[in-house]
């Protein structure tokens, strides 16, 4: 497979003020891509742009549908839309004992509806030009139900399902789709976890895994393999065995 010529591509990273999105923005810029970063925190975006010549920043709240469309149109007109990466995410540990409808809605608004808003803004241009790539950062938390992920897990499961259906629809049109399933990554989002996170990796390691997956042309990119392979195997366990194993492993 031919190597991706990033110097010929414009990459829009939505949710790139920290974590995996920021690490990807840094690595893609180093590879020569025309990098466009978006997030709600303007100061962090400007900090990135000031140290990465040629990079462009657009402050964005993915729940503002009209503004999301305006930003997408501006990027398409000025830099082109080749690669769109949805990295925005929100996470707060939750169990049924502290169920909060506002928190459930917030997770859905950012993690799933936010992706739909971005997709709605970019899909017409990608379909018109007959090429491009859309990538969603989901999570292994969407594989099967896990304790503490009552609000987060379902939104990531929905994002994965969305990517699968989009692949079926868009790949024949020349538009690639990929979904990313990280394990535990050391980011501001996971800093609220009070338990030991197995196989914890850095955002920089995550970025390199993603770039290798894109280079392979993979639809699904999951990492670190020493952790995610076990979780993928658990998907095939009968429910009774799975629930018993998770209760025993987590003591929850």
Dihedral sign for Cα 11, 17, 21, 25, please.
Answer: positive
Q: Report the alpha-carbon distance of residue 94 to residue 217 in Å, rounded.
A: 35
Out of 91, 152, 167, 242, which one is annotated catalytic? 152
Assess contact for 127 and 84: CB atoms under 8 A.
Answer: no
Tell me which residue has tokens 């990119």: 221
Tell me which residue has tokens 């930003």: 71
Question: What is the number of other CB atoms lying within 10 angstroms of the CB of residue 190?
Answer: 14
Which residues does 9 contact at the CB level (< 8 Å), separation at least 6?
A: 33, 34, 82, 83
Residue 152 a catalytic site member: yes
Q: What is the dihedral of CA 171, 14, 222, 226, to 10 degrees?
A: 170
Q: Which residues are catalytic?
A: 152
């Amino acid at each position: 497979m031919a190597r991706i010529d990033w110097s010929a591509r414009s990459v829009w990273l939505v949710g790139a003020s920290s974590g995996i999105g920021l690490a990807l923005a840094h690595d893609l810029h180093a590879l020569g891509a025309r990098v466009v970063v978006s997030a709600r925190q303007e100061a962090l975006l400007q900090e990135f742009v000031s140290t990465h010549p040629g990079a462009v920043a657009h402050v964005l709240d993915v729940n503002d549908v009209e503004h999301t469309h305006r930003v997408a149109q501006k990027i398409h007109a000025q830099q082109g839309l080749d690669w769109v990466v949805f990295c925005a995410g929100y996470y707060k540990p939750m169990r049924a004992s502290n169920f909060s409808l506002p928190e459930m809605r917030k997770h859905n608004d950012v993690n799933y509806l936010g992706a739909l808003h971005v997709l709605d803004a970019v899909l017409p241009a990608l379909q018109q030009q007959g090429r491009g790539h859309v990538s969603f950062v989901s999570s292994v938390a969407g594989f099967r139900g896990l304790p503490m992920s009552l609000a987060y897990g379902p939104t990531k499961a929905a994002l994965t399902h969305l990517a699968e259906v989009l692949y079926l629809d868009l790949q024949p049109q020349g538009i690639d789709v990929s979904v990313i399933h990280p394990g535990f990554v050391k980011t501001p989002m996971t800093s609220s976890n009070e338990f030991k996170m197995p196989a914890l990796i850095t955002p920089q390691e995550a970025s390199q895994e993603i770039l290798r997956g894109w280079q392979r042309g993979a639809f699904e990119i999951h990492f670190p393999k020493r952790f995610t392979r076990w979780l993928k195997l658990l998907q095939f366990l009968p429910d009774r065995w799975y629930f018993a194993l998770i209760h025993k492993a987590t003591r929850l």
